[in-house]
Amino acid sequence: MAINADILEGVIIQKLEDAGFRTAIKHAYAQVMVKAIAQAVVEHIQGQAEVNVTGGSSAGVYKVS
């Protein structure tokens, strides 16, 4: 399964709410911040991560998408 910023955002929001944070109240910018963080994490992983396949006909280094 490909990594997805929207799914990551939902998981982070849920974890914050489970920990007692109020993310959906007036003037709460948690969702805006979490969206930006989730997008940055996904962008970083997709831009930098590699998979090293060490054997078989598919041996080599591949980018994560």
pLDDT single digits (tens) 25-52:
888 899 999 999 999 999 999 889 899 9
Please tell me the pTM assigned to this model.
0.76
Contact partners, residue 18, CB within 8 Å, separation at least 6: none
Other CB atoms within a 10 A radius of the CB of residue 46 amount to 14
Where along the chain do its domains lie?
A: 5-63
Q: How far apart are CA 44 and CA 54, in angstroms?
A: 24
Rounded to 10 degrees, what is the CA torsion of 29, 33, 39, 44?
A: 180
